[in-house]
Structure 1
């Protein structure tokens, strides 16, 4: 029984040790001239570097009593081919925690320029004194810059056209003879970058691509805003039109008055299409009714108002009903349509 317990404990320690010594291997591909950082666990005590060709072995970082958690190791801001290799992270027992295999790649780019503009070739992290630039066109290779010196400046095609700085190699006033491929190599003749010059017309869509995109992004919000305003105005017009129609609706025809005792207070309601006459004047202080009860069909000649015709109507009786366009009224003073003379 004792023996079995010891065996179990031994197996557990082996499993724990294997888990603790497990190595996390990561591969990273980085373009020449870019930034290189490594993730470091808090138990990291040192970082060892071995170059890709195996010639360089060195410790690039040690803790030296510093305390940190979740730190990133910043190796360089400009990766070169000399940074290609393996970075190994070690704990305090000098055991491997994790491993990074870094590969550095050259850059490929296309550059659009119009005739008369300047072509800029970045050094992408290498020093100017290590830079050599070649021009390749249809297999014809010309050395423009060698170890940082513009050697092609003595060529009639490049006089006063080559300028070098600590970060770029510049070819001024490009023309149709300059289109092709520009190859940048470092001191070990490794290709840092390949830049292809493409000549475009000044003001063409290719040369003004950024300006065109900016213009489109500016116009789209304006179009949307105008559309929303037009939609809002149309809604207002429809609403106003509906309100106007409701306000201008023809009211029902109602009589201007009902039963009255004084005929002078009321006269027939005008009907559409008929002629409206003003209320008649009064004779002898008594109101009179229009001599044309139905203006559409007026009677023949009427005598003078001084001697109006007498109607054989019994006194204190209502007159016969008028046409549908005339409302009869009551007359308490005289049974006739006109006042009689004494």
Structure 2
């Protein structure tokens, strides 16, 4: 299969259409015309680094697509289109590629994105780069944290990181199903991000670990963020399997969660609790922003708490 046969055969079956796409797949550039500002983000997933080399093509598509989409959620954007750069080992495994493409296109249809263009090439390993674009009028950024803001997080972070050792060792049967779902099918919090616009002052998606990502907010806003361990949303399966300290370590620094961490004025507290019920999504107040040294401090019942996990690093 040639490059162009692969594109025509595997990546033209999506059902989403958008009048803003003036020129799409098949030309030198895509041309998009839109009245709204666009938020853009790019993510790369590498076999052996971001997903096991023997993972099914459907799972690989999910692990590449869903985390990339999470960046739009963190900005409060509405998905519009994406581009795909795909590196495949030769000879091309057509069966694998068709299954990967089918799952990718299904996800794109579900979330309302047009596959507008991209590139394919051969290489020593599977590498998937997805650039996401979303419409946005008022972006949530990392630098908007204000003194006195409450710090919130969605969902129950930590389970994806807890699953990873078993996934890499081929022991998936040994861990709870909710851990595997958290790793293989992360849920980009698009509806939450869109509804946080006008409520939250700053937001970020939790990809590298809760502390590591909140540190980005603290540094961008030049404030201290203080977390209360006793308020963290620990999934029962984590505490039952790992015990308190190890469960807290996963929540604070595990990464791969793709939940949203955000700050909002204290007077919006009840509004956020109502939003949690409306979305059927846990939203938990876990700390507060204060004047300080652009770091994250962790307290447990008022005392310093130390975690040995530094968070995920890409190098």
TM range (shorter): under 0.3
TM-score, structure 2 as length reference = 0.24
